[in-house]
Copies of this chain bind each other. A is one copy, B any other.
Amino acid sequence: MKCLVTGAAGFLGSHLCERLLNEGREVVGVDNLYTGSERNLRGFSGNARFTFMKADVCDLKSEDLGAFDEIYNLACPASPVHYQARPLFTSLTSVKGILLCLELAKRDGSRLLHASTSEIYGDPLVHPQEELYWGNVNTIGIRSCYDEGKRMAETFVADYVRLYDVDARMVRIFNTYGPRMHPQDGRVVSNFIMQALKGEDITIYGDGSQTRSFQYCDDLIEAFVRYMAAPKARMREFFGKPGRPAVPVLNTGNPGEFTIEELAKMTLELLPESKSRLAYRPLPGDDPKKRKPDISLAKELLGWEPKVPLAEGLAKTIEYFRVAAFSHP
């Protein structure tokens, strides 16, 4: 079975490629290496069933690519520090990337998984967020390039499903962490680990009582695999009913909540040699976002829920950062 993975050299893309290869698939991975890195592919780049294609989804046309049984669309800068550095490129990657994948899926009858995001919920007014929630997103702010690009991509997927019966499935991915995260990702898990490894103060904004949920990467990839294994008929049966999303879309995340202070303390416990201390700073204006996934639909459809406890996932992530982070390009 032949798979295409866009964003293959990214944090999640590389874990997905590895898993697909382990299951005996043939994988073509596309990445422009803007935030991805060939380092992430080292573990399997020698595998004869893996082909890496350095290319930008914005430049590719469907004619450039052969037929795939499965397509996984993960291409897009996802951390604020990266996407805000290139906002137009980010929106265009979202829009053009999904259009490319949808055209391929339509042409070849491929099954398509589109990586959407909890960011489409924005600064949510309901907690936890279920898939029927429409979100609260600013169209003209500095995060909009990512949020609105991802929202537009969902709309394209939904319309291709309605118009052409494309076998597309969307996941809205909540905060996910693990080995191969970009050390300059700028989000809290990598920040805390990097600070602890360097012996710098661990910066907590506000009093640290704000909560976050953290999904370990392997749990997410397991959801991907189960979702894509489900027959198309099951999608038709499950979605489009009253009280369900009109087209296939699932939240994937870990509903366990931890305070930022708990995360900081856990990081230090796992790095007892660290000289870092907690340092409290004023909360920036746009920070107190609280997001927590309602994963009932994924549980019901896939029998899936996250398995990896935070302490375990964090320990694996720290081990990765210890070796890799300081030599990252």
Report yes or no: A122 in contact with B134, Cβ–Cβ below 8 A.
Answer: yes
| Contact indicator A134/B136 (Cβ below 8 Å) | yes
Shortest distance from the beta carbon of A85 to any chain B beta carbon, whole Å? 11
- Please determine whether A145 and B155 come into contact, CB atoms closer than 8 angstroms: yes
Is the pair B249, A140 in contact by a Cβ cutoff of 8 Å? yes
Q: Is the beta-carbon distance between A139 and B155 smaller than 8 angstroms?
A: yes
Residue A306, interface by CB 8 Å = no
Number of interface residues of A (CB under 8 A): 36
**In the bound complex, what is the Cα–Cα distance between A152 and B136 (angstroms)?**
14
- Are A140 and B152 closer than 8 Å at their CB atoms? no
Nearest B residue to A148, CB-CB: B155
Q: For residue A122, which residues in chain B have a CB less than 8 angstroms away from its CB?
A: 134
Cα of A158 to Cα of B149 in the assembled complex, Å? 13
* Smallest CB separation, A243 vs chain B (Å): 13
Find chain B residues with CB under 8 A from A162 CB. Answer: 87, 142
Instruction: Given A91-B159, A159-B91, verify A154-B134 contact (CB < 8 Å).
Output: no
Instruction: Report the copy number of this chain in the oligomer.
Output: 2
CA distance A309 to B308 in the complex (A): 64
| Complex CA distance for A142 and B155, rounded to whole angstroms | 9
- Can you list, as one digit per residue, whether each of A153-195 has a CB less than 8 Å from chain B (1) or not (0)? 0111111101100000000000000000000000000000000
The answer to whether A41 has its CB under 8 Å from any CB of chain B is no
A118 contacts the other chain (CB 8 A): no
Interface pairs (17), CB distance under 8 Å: A88-B159, A95-B152, A134-B137, A134-B139, A136-B136, A139-B151, A139-B155, A140-B247, A141-B158, A144-B154, A144-B159, A148-B151, A148-B152, A148-B154, A148-B155, A149-B155, A152-B152
